Amino acid sequence: MTSELLQQVRVIDPVSGIDRVTDVLINDGLIGSVADNISDLPKDTHIRNCHGLVLGPGLVDLYSHSGEPGFEERENLLSLMQAASAGGFTRINLLPDTSPAIDDPSVVAQLLQKSKKHRESSPVPHSLLPLVNVWGAITEKVAGKQMTELADLAATGVVGFTDGQPWENFALVRRVLEYLQPLGKPVAFYCCHPELKGNGVVREGLDAIRLGLPFIPVSAETSAIAALLELAAPIGVPIHIMRVSTARSVDLIASTKASGLPVTASTTWMHLLLDTKAVKSYDPSLRLEPPLGNYQDLVALRQAVKTGTIDAIAIDHSPYTYEEKTVSFAEAPPGAIGFELALPFLWQYLVESGEWTALELWRALSTRPAECLHQKPSAIAPGERVEMILFDPQESWKVEKKNLYTLSTNTPWLGQQIQGRVLETVNSDQ
């Protein structure tokens, strides 16, 4: 038996509602005991002083982009998994917009087998890379035209269904909801009206006028959300709304939840930290989809996550090569990396500032994402399998290529100093 005692570590566990300094004993990949002072130890227990460190359940990312297959120069599966582990994520879920798209059981099998091989051969001692799941495409080549063989994909073990792209054909959306109802899998939609969006790249408002960039009206998002909710209501199938970015969208989701419709929602970590004022730098890494909101959107999103109206925070990790992002703001592909940066920045901006409690942040990054995916959340309690991370909120480090596992560096924080770092991600075998 291998045992380790984490002494006087700050345990944050949303499942049990615990945020306190305590001892944690780990035996052979299981949590043996959680108590104020553990003295009865197995022979040869390794004792580790964890004063000032945070121990929390592993983080769960609802959706992110993989470069592999098709765009390995941006990110391969191994580097993505290493980056996720370095950021504290023990479960990640990949969007189907790869090349080829994840619209066929053979592609699902290939990715799951390769991720399993990477986990089994992980060079990191006493730890495993994150568990990888994939979203199955709703339509062939995520083109929004022809439905995939949904039942065949469901049988391969996809975590759920999404295209991760805006929809134009709402008659097809209605049919999709009817077909997916008996499969019992989560279904997620990115709501944006393509015609209202046009060629816009920033959120409509005074900042957009000052920047001189084409804008996207709030109604591009809200009209699509309203249409989706109207379609889902009579069918009653649970839906997840991705990438919520406006205050008005929060109002629509809140009223829908109050009516009893089974809907969950998520926003991305960058939409909780920055608003349109940040775009004055014209940094192409701030070209996101949906775009950063105005200040009132940021405030509404933070409050909605805090209260649970928005269930979870997604990373939406979107790697691109240096050449792809070294263009003008309007021409840059949308997206930024995030696995290794999200927890430190969210902790620094929201927990250290006192706006959120540590439990509220962890709940939105771990417990609720798992629940959105119909999975059991990990917990730090006796008898539970070890799926947790050790985080040092005080460690300072610089965001630069040599300090990152991800192959891409498309982030607006490149070159900046950051406080807070994941020291260890421990994920016993599934």
What pLDDT, in 10s, does the model give residues 350-360? 999 999 999 99
Please give the pLDDT value at position 428. Answer: 76
What is the mean predicted confidence (pLDDT) over 95-115? 97
Please give the pLDDT value at position 150. Answer: 96
What pLDDT, in 10s, does the model give residues 278-304? 999 999 999 999 999 999 999 999 999
What pLDDT, in 10s, does the model give residues 210-232? 999 999 999 999 999 999 999 99
What is the mean predicted confidence (pLDDT) over 44-68? 97
Q: 122 falls in which pLDDT band (50, 70, 90)?
A: confident
Please give the pLDDT value at position 429. Answer: 61
Please give the pLDDT value at position 318. Answer: 98
For residue 346, which of 52, 88, 70 has the smallest C-alpha distance?
88
Element (H, E) at 390: strand 387-398
Residue 145, classed as helix, strand or coil, is coil
- Give catalytic residue positions: 316
User: By percentage, how much of the chain surpasses pLDDT 90?
Assistant: 94
Backbone region of residue 8 per phi and psi (left: phi > 0; alpha: psi in -120 to 50; beta: other values): left
Q: Could you give the CA distance from residue 227 to residue 321 in angstroms, rounded to a whole number?
A: 36
Residue at 312: amino acid letter:
A
Q: 120 falls in which pLDDT band (50, 70, 90)?
A: confident
| Res 125 pLDDT > 50 | no
For residue 422, which of 16, 83, 49 has the smallest C-alpha distance?
83
What pLDDT, in 10s, does the model give residues 165-197? 999 999 999 999 999 999 999 999 999 999 999
Please give the pLDDT value at position 126. Answer: 43
Q: 99 falls in which pLDDT band (50, 70, 90)?
A: very high
